[in-house]
Amino acid sequence: MTSLTTRHPIRLLQITDTHLYGSSSGKLLEINTQDSMDHVVKSVQKNEEQIDFILATGDIAQDASLEAYNNFMEAIGKLGAPFRWIPGNHDNPDVMAEAAYDTNACEKLLYINNWQILFLDTTVEGRVHGRLARKELDFLSESLAAAEASKEVNHCLICLHHNPIKGNADWMKDIGLHNRLEFFEIVKQNSKVACIVYGHVHQELDFQYEGIRCLCTPSTCVQFKPNATNFTLDELNPGYRTIQLYEDGSIDSEVIRVSGYTYEADLNSDGY
């Protein structure tokens, strides 16, 4: 657990679904994922003056290799801000822990000013969908109870990889968080949860659910088209999200997509 005091508002960045390979020539649906992430990193360097923390919400690697995680660390290191990462369905949590040895990257609980930030592992080995194991549900429940009882914590933000609300495309309906009802049962017992941040569905979403702001962010590589019956790639550029957390619990957030980059994904692909 880390506790930090910084300015208000707290300025976070979400970077998600980088799908890096051990080899810098690795391609996903014709996109060189290292190259597209490098464009996102350059865009952050150009646009953002100061970042307090980076949330990396899974599918860090496509091939789950140690080299891919090292490549991520090298790229993110250029931004000069601390980060935490959680695994997605393409990741191997054990290899991530090995890559993060001697760092705080895998830490699951963070306090910044009067905000608590939680990082959950929703992965199920060998499966695309997500599920919170008993120990993750217990961690969520215990951490939120501690926040509820604390005078120093006024607001909570939860990070996870899998969408806890059903996807908006037909092909996505089974790939989200399968025990979403158990998740929300715990979340709704707490009065301080203000925001849920996730990745997995490679698109920009910003909506309220059960009074909680829900944010999903484009991948740094391929984009999935919302509301499609079958798997369909979108033609939008990769990007990242800024999240500003205010002392009173309000949140400003914006997705920034890279410019000056020719996105050449295989738009005829029927899966990945």
Least Å distance, CB 251 to Fe ion, is: 24
Peptide bond into 164 cis (omega under 30): no
The CB-of-193 to Fe ion minimum distance in angstroms stands at 24
Q: Which residue, 90 or 155, is less far from Fe ion as judged by CB?
A: 90
Alpha helices in the chain (DSSP H): 33-47, 66-77, 93-99, 134-149, 180-187
Residues that bind Fe ion (CB under 5 A): 17, 59
* Complex with Fe ion: residue 17 or 234, whichever CB lies closer: 17
Residue 85 or residue 139: which is nearer to Fe ion going by CB? 85
- Given CA atoms 17, 19, 22, 23 in this order, what sign does their dihedral have? negative
Question: Nearest approach, Cβ of 95 to Fe ion (angstroms)?
Answer: 17
Judged by beta carbon, residue 11 or residue 84, the one nearer Fe ion is 84
* Smallest separation, CB 41 to Fe ion (Å): 18
Instruction: Between 59 and 204, name the residue whose CB sits nearer to Fe ion.
Output: 59
Least CB distance from residue 17 to Fe ion, whole Å?
Answer: 4
Q: Do 215 and 191 touch, CB atoms closer than 8 A?
A: no
Q: What is the dihedral of CA 93, 236, 265, 261, to 10 degrees?
A: -100
Residues 15 and 220: their CA atoms lie apart, in Å, by 7
Query: Distance between CA 267 and CA 236 in Å, rounded?
Result: 11
DSSP class of 112:
E
User: Minimum Å distance from CB 59 to Fe ion?
Assistant: 3
CA distance 156 to 136: 16
Place of tokens 């830490």: 107
- Residue 71 Cα distances to 78, 125, 200, 227, angstroms: 11, 23, 20, 33
Of 147 and 175, CB closest to Fe ion? 175
